[in-house]
């Protein structure tokens, strides 16, 4: 039986070539939560880049039909960025994680500001906070809440001021948008904090489920109990 890698796959010619062409995870099970997060990030990019290409082509056709050149530029640019995150091997995990969470935030913000809130924009912003909680956790998750709230507040302010760029096909009336924004922020906080609590719990436990930090070895007692020899009368 040959050796197997962290995914349980025996290495071969194509497999080794593929590993050299992508930002293969470098952490080990002993690294604990970093190991889980880095492999989740790699799986996300590995599956997301081909699927995003399949979604990019019809999206570009739709954007060109409606004259939304800004959305077309954003889509192409974000796809190139995601491809770079997958194949660039010189970046650290933190850099690639930050680069990954930028993708849903940028796409969600562009959809809301160009098309309107009745689009996929709020869903992409929600996934931004979810990915932040999974990949980075801690204060980064709270920062994502603030960014999402800022996007909604700025759009709501522009909507009440009658800004011309808020007249996209997905536009809502200010009152309707206020209801949508309040529900979004509530859902954003609930899902983000729940995931943050889960990963903090995993970190506190040290991931002792076979993929994390092994429990410390039991140290021998420096003063073992002595057993008195039996006396036979």
Q: What is the pLDDT of residues 85-111, one digit of tens each?
A: 988 888 888 999 999 999 999 999 999
For the record, the structure tokens of 161 come out as 């001021």
Q: Which of 217, 145, 146 is nearest to 188 (CA)?
A: 145
Q: Does pLDDT of 72 surpass 60?
A: yes
Radius of gyration over alpha carbons of the chain, in Å?
A: 25
Q: Does pLDDT of 215 surpass 50?
A: no
pTM: predicted TM-score of the whole model, two decimal places = 0.78
Contact criterion met (CB below 8 Å) for 125 and 109: yes
In tens, the pLDDT along 30-64 reads 777 888 888 899 999 988 998 998 889 898 998 88
List the Cα angle 177/67/184 in 5-degree steps.
20
């Amino acid at each position: 039986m040959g050796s197997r890698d962290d995914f349980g796959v025996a290495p071969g010619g194509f497999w080794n070539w593929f590993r050299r062409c992508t930002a293969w995870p470098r952490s080990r099970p002993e690294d604990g939560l970093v190991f889980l997060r880095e492999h989740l990030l790699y799986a996300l990019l590995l599956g997301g880049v081909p699927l995003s290409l399949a979604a990019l082509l019809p999206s570009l056709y739709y954007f060109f039909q409606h004259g939304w050149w800004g959305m077309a530029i954003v889509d192409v640019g974000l796809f190139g960025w995601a491809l770079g995150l997958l194949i660039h091997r010189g970046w650290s995990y933190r850099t690639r994680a930050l680069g990954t969470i930028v993708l849903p935030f940028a796409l969600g913000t562009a959809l809301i500001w160009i098309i309107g809130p009745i689009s996929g924009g709020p869903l992409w912003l929600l996934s931004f906070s979810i990915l932040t909680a999974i990949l980075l956790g801690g204060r980064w998750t709270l920062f994502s809440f603030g960014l999402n709230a800022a996007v909604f507040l700025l759009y709501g302010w522009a909507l009440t001021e009658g800004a011309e760029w808020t007249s996209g096909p997905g536009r809502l009336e200010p009152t309707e948008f206020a209801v949508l924004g309040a529900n979004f922020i509530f859902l954003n906080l609930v899902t983000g904090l729940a995931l943050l609590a889960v990963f903090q719990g995993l970190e506190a436990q040290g991931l002792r489920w076979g993929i994390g930090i092994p429990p410390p070895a039991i140290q021998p007692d420096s003063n073992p109990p002595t057993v008195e020899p039996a006396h036979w009368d």
